[in-house]
Structure 1
Amino acid sequence: MANNMSPEEYKELGRRYYKLKQYEKAAETFTNGIEACPTASLYDHRAATYDKLENLNAAVKDGREMIRLDKKDVKGYLRTASVLEKMEKPETALGIYKYGMKNVPVGDKNFKLLQKLHDKLTRKLSPATAIDPFTVLPVELAEMILEYLPFRHMVNCMRVSRGWRDYLSKLPQLWMDLDLSGARKPVPRAFVNTAFKRSQYRMTRVTVHRFEHIQVISNLAKAAKALAELQIISLPHMMSASLIDIATNVVCLTKLVIHPKVTLDSVVQILRVAPVLKHVTFHTIRSQNSTVQWTRSLDQLESLDMFFVDKTPANILSLRALFLQTRSLQCLTLSNLNFSPIAMIWPGTVSELPPLTNLVLKSTSFKHSIQFPVFPPTLQRLVLDPDGPTDMPRNDSDWLQSALPELTHLSLSNSEWTAQRLGVLLDLYWDDDGNTQKLRDAKPLQHLSVRGIIPAPQGTCFFKGPASVFSYSPRFLTKALESLDLATLAVDDDEVEHLLTNELGLRSIDLSWTNITGASIKMLADQLPMLKSIKADHCVRINGRDAIHYAQRKGIHVSYQMGELKGGRKIRYG
């Protein structure tokens, strides 16, 4: 009759004996069931019974038999390791846990329990100074932390141990961004090839530095179908043809940053062969004598930064033609250009301009310009950094060509600015009939930088009096103003006191190289409740650190450095 019972019936009968604490009869029943039809469940229940009978060797045997029957079932590993720990064999139990983590699917609902018991036993066996964080932290959290590490630090982690190296090399998401910017020595060809394989050929960003093998980069560009960002910081013996070839082969490239020298002709060709580019920066461009021909539409281009090596005539860029080909261009940076005469270079009407939101003109020259550039009404950030104080047009009517209602970030330097000229730039414009109009609903400035400017006429104040430089436009000193940079200006305590008569929302202010004393630091700390940062570097009239400590006690970070002449000692007060 017993032989006719099913495994489930044996298990149910044995469990009844087990609940009645008749462990001998329970073990006999489970044994009969195993002889009739061995299952992992019957071995599991018999092992639990042997555990109660303190026959631990027999319980371990049944646990191992469970593992043999089904390596993917977590119960065998949990049962065996648990009994081994009772037998005071923790190293053997740890081996069982490790074996289980290799065979049990990660998606199993009890996998995390297996991992938790493994990590707990590992911590117990390891000395306090030798705990492996990968055994303490959950796998998901460990991988999340690793993804935040800079690439160079992640590579250093691979040198910790063989286990770390094997673990990190099997996580493709850590190799999607090949960043060689932190390389201190020439990077071997084999490292780049290995990193590419570890990413499973799915790299999305590559930064090249101290790597001499241009052909490897070219091959990588062809194979990495998802490569979207490429930055070349240094590349010995780089040929323009190789760079053009790379740009041609990367089908998904949307961002390109080139630091080594390239010719302007190469710039044009790169933009021509990579039509999906959205963000492009060339840090070192060599100019040429002939005018650039922009013949291909660059409608995808959203930002373009071009830095020339030497002062270059702006007419060779054919900016009017470029703007007609870049109807989606939002951010433009031009450096070291000579805009003379600008009427022949820059579009004369707003309709010819793309919808720029960010315009930076650095180290530019406007000498002998017929007029000043027309700016689009979409502009939100404007940086004007001409070569010297005599380069800006003196005719205030030139500023009436642009209406800038969206402008919130303004940076001016190295120029003579009258209060009227600033007011015209921000508040007035010509309408279609040539009449002067005042902007309505214009946004107040949030960030203002006015380094190195000279008030015109000489002796005009910045904040004192109705004729001061920043009193002409209501967009300057408002609650919306968050940061103010007045470094290098002839600002003293009186100017700061008049500045604070306005209701401001300043969070940071830069007064480096000005004539303020500690009294200004205290006034700013007392009257600006939102202030978080003050820069007062090289302010020679600040004596001692009392005012700095006073501001710091109010939770304001104060930077105050005094540097003596070359070879002298630098003193840091705050």
Structure 2
Amino acid sequence: MTSRPESRITRALASKKKPDKVQAAALQKTGQNAYKNGDVKGAIESFTKALAADNEDIGVLDNRAAAYCKLKLYSPARSDARAMVKLAPKDDRGYLRLAKVLCLDGNFDKAQVIYEYALQKLPANHAGRDVVMQSLKKLQDKLAGGNRRDPFTALPLEVADLILSYLSFKQIAAIMRVCQGWRRFLIGLSNLWMHVDLTGARSRVPWTSVRDYIHRSRVQVTNATIANVCNSATPKVLQMLSRCPKLEHLEFQVFCGPRDFYPKIQEFRHLKTLVCGPDIKISHACVGSILSTLTKLEKATFFHVWDRITQVPQPTPTWPTYLPNLKSLTLGCSQDSRISLTSTHTFGDVVPGLTSSVYPNLEELRLLWNTARSRHYEFCPMRGDGEELPILPPLRTLDLRGAVIEPRFYSLLPATLESLRVESSGVTDDSLHMYDNKLRNLKTLIFNECLWINNDSLIIFASRSEAPLETLHINFCHKADYAGLSRLLLTPGAMERSRGLTELCVACMDGLDDYAMKEVSERLPNLSVLDLSQTKITGCTIRLFADARKDGTKVAQLDVLIIRGCDAVSRDAIDYGRQMGIKIIT
């Protein structure tokens, strides 16, 4: 029984017989002539005999691989090409032949790998590098479609890196799935993996993926937003993040048990931002302990402070007495069976010692009780010496939900304030005391469900404060009506400042009708967002603003109009307003 040519050449390659280069050259010439004359099988037989005479001639292997490709026998062709690479790793012919065979067989990604591998192995001054590079670019163009080029190879590395820095973590993860070449390129750029953000994941993210992301960054992660992770995996994720010495920003939006979270989080000594989502229940004492331990914190957010704060007005031992780096503090609380529904906490227990001496650089303070109720806590900062008013930190943003305020609330506000939001709030007295306090930086003023807001208090906040308001919300404040709003818009000085108002929300305000809105549209020409929910307007108001966009008059040209619960507005008027380019929310 005769053996196959491939078997014979394999034995020949393995033998130690001295090569007969003269005979091999003659047989190679015979095979080349047979190939030119169309006798491909005869050519293969001659090339096989030539290899039996000289098993180290990669030229003969190249000829036989080409002949195999002519007959579409790609498997033996790949074997010959691999033998060429093994015999002469510094010769470009083996890489070119192997990549070509892979392309003919439809394995374009593997062919690209071979070209890239050849560029790594061939010396920098090798004459064949240019041919390999040109072949690689042609293949990349083909994979990209037509004349388009792969940006990661056509662009300089610095430019490609700069472009990728503008993409989100989710987009980077999607790019990795395009092809193996892009995946290898992105994995090699460790700076792309400095920010792990799992908020856009479509399904639960295994902890092993987080481990891989951290490894790609070379354990240099600086930002981490953890979400969409199974509860059982959060301790492992937290443990892996603790190994990143440069981690400065951490946001946890998944459940983590107290035994795993509290001790471990205090090991993150370099944190500047810590956000604990509503799924992480944390005690008031533990908040103070974390603030005391993580002294570099600039932003601290705790959305679920669950335990009952003491009713005795005394400093909490675990709460720090000096926080020079803290710029933003948010304390949130969700209704819980362990929280008293009848008692009111004093402000000194919620945020001990809120003065500029303890929080010298605090710019944002948010106290968010949900569901907000006007008797959750008192916003009554401790007095200074005697009856002197306390000096609050240089706040730029103050957000109070579920607070009861004292009559001197207006006087407590710092002159640096830019945004004030008060929601579901009560007052310890019937009215607000008037003090000489100017809020010349206040641009955003929001009152939602505040029973103590009336026409007089509106004048104090929006007129006497000399605030250059751009956003004004007076929603469900039933003691304030359009008469007070109109008086505010006509007050000397306030009328000029109110012309810069771009957003006005007056849901459920008494006295608002079509005539009143005509007056508002003339006095507020820069208005772009308007909320008239649960008011008495009709379709005439919509037509007024819609015609203003069409005619280009000095009347306010709205972009967004909210009319929830406005039963007198017809469908035709809504359709007309939308045709004129107004986004109408019903």
Name the TM-score, length of structure 2 as normaliser.
0.66
Name the % identity: 20
Residue 71 of structure 2 corresponds to which residue in structure 1?
none
Residue 538 of structure 2 corresponds to which residue in structure 1?
517
Per-residue CA deviations over 1:269-288 (Å, capped at 9, x if unaligned) read 00000011001111011332
Instruction: State the SS of the aligned residue for 2:459.
Output: helix
Kept in 2: contact 1:338–1:364 (CA 8 A): yes
Using a 3 Å threshold, how does the CA distance of structure 1 residues 345 and 216 change in structure 2: closer, same or farther? Answer: farther
Instruction: State the SS of the aligned residue for 1:385.
Output: strand
Residue 405 of structure 1 corresponds to which residue in structure 2?
440
1:455 is aligned, of 471, 475, 479, to: 479
1:230 aligns to 2:271 (yes or no): no
Point out the more displaced range, 263-272 or 416-425.
416-425
Residue 116 of structure 2 corresponds to which residue in structure 1?
101
Per-residue CA deviations over 1:441-480 (Å, capped at 9, x if unaligned) read x452111111111235xx762555xxx3544474366331
Counterparts of 2:332 and 2:110 in 1: how far apart (Å)? 61
Amino acid at match of 2:396: T
Counterparts of 1:218 and 1:544 in 2: how far apart (Å)? 53
Using a 3 Å threshold, how does the CA distance of structure 1 residues 138 and 533 change in structure 2: closer, same or farther? Answer: farther
Residue 22 of structure 2 corresponds to which residue in structure 1?
none
Amino acid at match of 1:447: T
Residue 206 of structure 1 corresponds to which residue in structure 2?
224
Residue 579 of structure 2 corresponds to which residue in structure 1?
553
Residue 359 of structure 2 corresponds to which residue in structure 1?
326
Per-residue CA deviations over 1:51-94 (Å, capped at 9, x if unaligned) read xxxxxxxxxx9xx99xx7978xxxx79x979xx89xx9797999
Using a 3 Å threshold, how does the CA distance of structure 1 residues 99 and 513 change in structure 2: closer, same or farther? Answer: same
Kept in 1: contact 2:96–2:115 (CA 8 A): no
1:317 aligns to 2:350 (yes or no): yes
Unaligned runs of 5+ in 1: 1-60, 429-438, 561-574
1:475 aligns to 2:478 (yes or no): no
Residue 394 of structure 2 corresponds to which residue in structure 1?
355
Amino acid at match of 1:424: I
Residue 41 of structure 1 corresponds to which residue in structure 2?
none
Residue 250 of structure 1 corresponds to which residue in structure 2?
268
Unaligned runs of 5+ in 2: 1-80, 370-374
Counterparts of 1:419 and 1:93 in 2: how far apart (Å)? 74
Amino acid at match of 2:442: L
Instruction: State the SS of the aligned residue for 1:423.
Output: helix
Kept in 2: contact 1:463–1:495 (CA 8 A): no
Kept in 2: contact 1:208–1:232 (CA 8 A): yes
- List aligned pairs for 1:352-431, cutoff 5 A: 352-366=391-405, 374-387=412-425, 391=427, 393-396=429-432, 398-400=433-435, 402-413=437-448, 414-428=450-464
Q: What's the offset of the Cα at 1:412? A: 1.3
Residue 44 of structure 1 corresponds to which residue in structure 2?
none
Per-residue CA deviations over 1:390-437 (Å, capped at 9, x if unaligned) read x364344x2315321111111112234343332223444xxxxxxxxx
- List aligned pairs for 1:28-427, cutoff 5 A: 99-104=114-119, 116-123=137-144, 151=169, 155=173, 166=184, 168-182=186-200, 187-209=205-227, 210-239=230-259, 242-259=260-277, 260-285=280-305, 286-289=307-310, 291=314, 292-293=316-317, 294-309=319-334, 310=339, 312-317=345-350, 319-321=352-354, 323-336=356-369, 338-340=376-378, 342=380, 344=382, 352-366=391-405, 374-387=412-425, 391=427, 393-396=429-432, 398-400=433-435, 402-413=437-448, 414-427=450-463
Counterparts of 2:295 and 2:270 in 1: how far apart (Å)? 10
Counterparts of 1:144 and 1:538 in 2: how far apart (Å)? 49
Kept in 1: contact 2:347–2:379 (CA 8 A): no
Per-residue CA deviations over 1:130-184 (Å, capped at 9, x if unaligned) read x998899969788777666654565566667666655554443443222333557
Kept in 1: contact 2:410–2:435 (CA 8 A): no
Point out the more displaced range, 478-487 or 277-286.
478-487
Kept in 2: contact 1:208–1:231 (CA 8 A): yes
Per-residue CA deviations over 1:248-270 (Å, capped at 9, x if unaligned) read 32232111011211100000000
Counterparts of 2:358 and 2:265 in 1: how far apart (Å)? 19
Point out the more displaced range, 349-358 or 141-150.
141-150
Number of equivalent positions: 461
Using a 3 Å threshold, how does the CA distance of structure 1 residues 454 and 215 change in structure 2: closer, same or farther? Answer: closer
Q: What's the offset of the Cα at 1:521? A: 1.1
Kept in 2: contact 1:101–1:114 (CA 8 A): no
Q: What's the offset of the Cα at 1:377? A: 0.5
Kept in 2: contact 1:327–1:354 (CA 8 A): yes
Amino acid at match of 1:328: N
Using a 3 Å threshold, how does the CA distance of structure 1 residues 320 and 149 change in structure 2: closer, same or farther? Answer: same
